[in-house]
Structures are given as structure tokens and as C-alpha cells.
Structure 1
Amino acid sequence: MQPRIKICCISSQEEAALAIGAGADALGLVGAMPSGPGVIGDEVIRSVALELPAAVAGFLLTQECTAQAIAEHVHRCAVSTVQVVNHVDPAELGRLRASLPALRIVQVIHVEGADALTLLERYEPHVHTFLLDSGSPSAAVPLLGGTGRVHDWKISAEFVRRARRPVFLAGGLRPDNVREAIRQVQPFGLDICSGVRTDGRLDPGKLHAYVAAIRTPTS
């Protein structure tokens, strides 16, 4: 089964249409962040999310860390899926799920080492999906995504093997390495931002090359 494709850091209706036309199954809409690319205002996120076709999910990327603040961000942006980019208290996700049972919750795990595997059991009861990325949330200026860095796929593969939830893989994916990422990790989905952009803008050539690399059957 081919992995789902999520194109992140969507900045406008035009970029959303371009990504969907290329075959994206989901789009990432980045709220306020301490660093990283693709940040847009909540009003823009809302306008893009409300125009998405039913078959395409809009993921709100939020840095909020409490159930109340995440729920308020979700309501402002009119989305049905939230991607929590901080390693928050799992109890807050339990409260969020209880208060908004229809909301799909995606927890980002920043793979800085093998200790990422210990987060699986903590979060799994409270989330619908995981996303493995290459950020550094404990850095002086937290890096919560969009780094363009590849992390240790052996750890990601073990995470996928143990998980009972779908897992997206992110971090430094490009047309020239995505087939190897699929082979090694076998994720449910792939998430990309910087690898399909030129000077910060979604690049149609890179985007179509990325999608073609994923869709091409292995020999």
C-alpha cells in the first residue's frame, strides 16, 4: 500500500490547490511557532481549511501545550485535525480528546535519539496518529519542524514496528531519498515541507518529482 502524502507549510489557497492537484492527501497549515518556515495567520489557516475538499485533511500545526489552548486554536482555525508539535503532557491530550471527541489528534515525536521510543506508550492512548520529525524542542530557540534534517530512520522504523497507531515520517525527505525512507521505515504516510520548495515557495517541479518518486512502484 502506498503511503499517504502530506505537504506541509501551505501558505495560501494557491499553494493548497497546487499540492492537491499533485496528489496530496493532507496539507499542513502552520500556526505561530518560535522558529521554522511556513507560519501563517489563523485567519489564513481558516480560509484555506474551509475550502479543502472532503477527501483532503487539513492539519493545524500548533505550539500550544494545554487542552484549553489547543481547543481554542482549533476553533479559531475551523480544522478537524490538529498536529501538536511540542512534547506536551499526555494528560492534556486526554482532556482535549474528552472535550472534542470528533477532533483527530496527531502527536509529533522529535527523534533526537532512541529515547523517542519511550514516548510511544505515554502518548498512544490519547492520540490517533504519530508524526516522527527531526526537531529539537529543548533547544534555546525550540525547533519544532521544518528543519530539513534527516534523523535516524532505524529508530523511526522501530517506532513504526511497535506502534498501534498510523505513523507519518517527516524530516529531510526529498525526491532522491524518499524511496529509501519508505523501504526502511514503512510509514503510513510521508510529510514534507522544505524538500518541495525553492526560496520558500512551493515548487511545482520538485513537488511533482516527489510525488512521482513515491508513486513509482519498486522493482
Structure 2
Amino acid sequence: MRTRVKVCCIASAEEAAMAVAAGADALGLVAAMPSGPGPIPDGSIAAIAAGVPPPVATFLLTSETTASAISAHIRATGPTAVQIVSHIDPAEAARLAVLEPRIRRVQVIHVEGNEAVDLIPAYAPHVHAFLLDSGRPNATIRELGGTGRVHDWAVSAAFVRASPLPVFLAGGLTPDNAADAIRRVRPYGLDLCSGIRTGGGLDPLKLRAFMRAVRSGDSEME
């Protein structure tokens, strides 16, 4: 199976076009966050999302935690998918599925230990996919992504094996470790931000190197 690639922290229409041209399957558009790189105004998210050609998906990264607020955020920005970066109440995830049945819903799970796997049953009935990241949602200043840190891929691999849904892997991915991530975790997709940026901007050379590494990893799995 071909590993999908989601390029996150897209900051402009130019970066979106660069990622699409390189073969990205999805683009991440980061809204206001308590910490981390890449947030842009909702108006910019809406403008970029409107210009992305199908079948490339546009993911709104929202830190909202209630179904009504997440739904309002979706309707204000017009993405094709929403990435819920907090461990929200599963009851809110169920309510969001009713409010936004046409939007693909992706629940982030922050891997801090083996207990991450225990969250699968709570969310799986209400979302379309999971995304494993390296945040610290209970820190004094919450980290909800964009950390640039690799978490324990043994836990991630166990999560993938246990999940009935597709699983994206994020956290500290670069052209140097992408193929190894595919071999060890077997995710549906890889998601990255800082690993293909230089001076804050999307780096075309690093982006192409990452895409080559992903295809190399896929070839080894055939």
C-alpha cells in the first residue's frame, strides 16, 4: 500500500502549490494553538483551502474541544477534513459526527506511553482516522503538535496493529527517518511540518527528499 503524505503548517497559496506539485496527498492548515509552529488566521485557511485542487485533501487543525465550536470552525474555513488536536470528550466526537457527517474527522492521539492504545475504542466509532503525534496535552502550556520530537514508535506500531481505522504518523519526521518510520510503524500516512522547512519556510529540496524517502520505504515493503 502506498504511504500517503500530509504536509502540515502550510502558510500560503504558494506553499500549498509547492506541496501539491511534489505529490502531497493532503495539506495541513493550522489554526490558533496554545503553542507550536505554523498557525495562520482563519481567513487565510479558508482562502488556501478554496484553491487546493481535488483529490488533495485540506485538513483544518483545530484546538477547539466541543462539537459546536469545531463545527463552527469547519464552516468558517471550508476544509475537506478536520484534525482534532486535543483529546476531546468522546461524547463531543459523537456529536460532531452528527453535526458534520460530510467532513472527514481525524482524531489526534498524543503518544506519551502505552496508554495511547487504550484510547482507540473511545474514538473509533466517531472518526475516520487517527493521527499519532508527540504533544503533551496536559503540560502547563499545552503542546498539541508541531513539537519536532519523535515519540516511541513501538507504541505507534502497536496502535496501528490495533486500530480498525487508518493511522497517520507525525512527530519529528524528516527525509532521514521517513523510510525507517514506514518499516517500523506501517502507518497509512506520514505527516510532517518542521522536518521539511528551512528558516520557517517550506524547503523544496527537503520536500523532494522526503517524498523520495517515502517511495523508497514503500518499495522496501513490497
Question: TM-score normalised by the shorter chain: which range applies?
Answer: over 0.9
What is the match of residue 72 of structure 2?
72
What is the match of residue 218 of structure 1?
220
What amino acid is aligned across from residue 4 of structure 1 in structure 2? Answer: R
C-alpha distance in structure 1 between counterparts of 2:117 and 2:165, whole Å: 14
For structure 1, list consecutive stretches of 5 or more residues without a partner in the other structure: none
C-alpha distance in structure 1 between counterparts of 2:100 and 2:210, whole Å: 35
Aligned length: 219
What is the match of residue 171 of structure 1?
171
Helix, strand or coil for the counterpart of 2:220? coil
Helix, strand or coil for the counterpart of 2:158? helix
Q: How does 1:174-189 map to 2 (within 5 A)?
A: 174-189=174-189
What is the match of residue 36 of structure 2?
36
What amino acid is aligned across from residue 177 of structure 2 in structure 1? Answer: N
C-alpha distance in structure 2 between counterparts of 1:215 and 1:117, whole Å: 28
What is the match of residue 5 of structure 2?
5
What is the match of residue 202 of structure 2?
202
Helix, strand or coil for the counterpart of 1:98? helix
Q: How does 1:45-84 map to 2 (within 5 A)?
A: 45-84=45-84
1:80 shift after superposition = 2.2
Helix, strand or coil for the counterpart of 2:131? strand
What amino acid is aligned across from residue 198 of structure 1 in structure 2? Answer: T
1:177-203 alpha-carbon deviations (Å, 9 max, x no partner): 111110010000000100000111100
Runs (4+) off by over 4 Å: none
What amino acid is aligned across from residue 11 of structure 1 in structure 2? Answer: A
The sequence identity of aligned pairs, in percent, is 58
C-alpha distance in structure 1 between counterparts of 2:211 and 2:80, whole Å: 25
For structure 2, list consecutive stretches of 5 or more residues without a partner in the other structure: none
C-alpha distance in structure 1 between counterparts of 2:220 and 2:105, whole Å: 32
C-alpha distance in structure 1 between counterparts of 2:140 and 2:200, whole Å: 24
1:155 maps onto 2:155 in alignment: yes
1:87 maps onto 2:62 in alignment: no
Helix, strand or coil for the counterpart of 2:68? helix
What is the match of residue 144 of structure 2?
144
What is the match of residue 122 of structure 2?
122
**Does 134-143 or 209-218 show the bigger shift?**
209-218
What amino acid is aligned across from residue 29 of structure 1 in structure 2? Answer: L
Helix, strand or coil for the counterpart of 1:53? coil
1:165 shift after superposition = 0.4
What amino acid is aligned across from residue 79 of structure 1 in structure 2? Answer: P
Helix, strand or coil for the counterpart of 2:14? helix
What amino acid is aligned across from residue 155 of structure 1 in structure 2? Answer: V
1:79 shift after superposition = 1.3
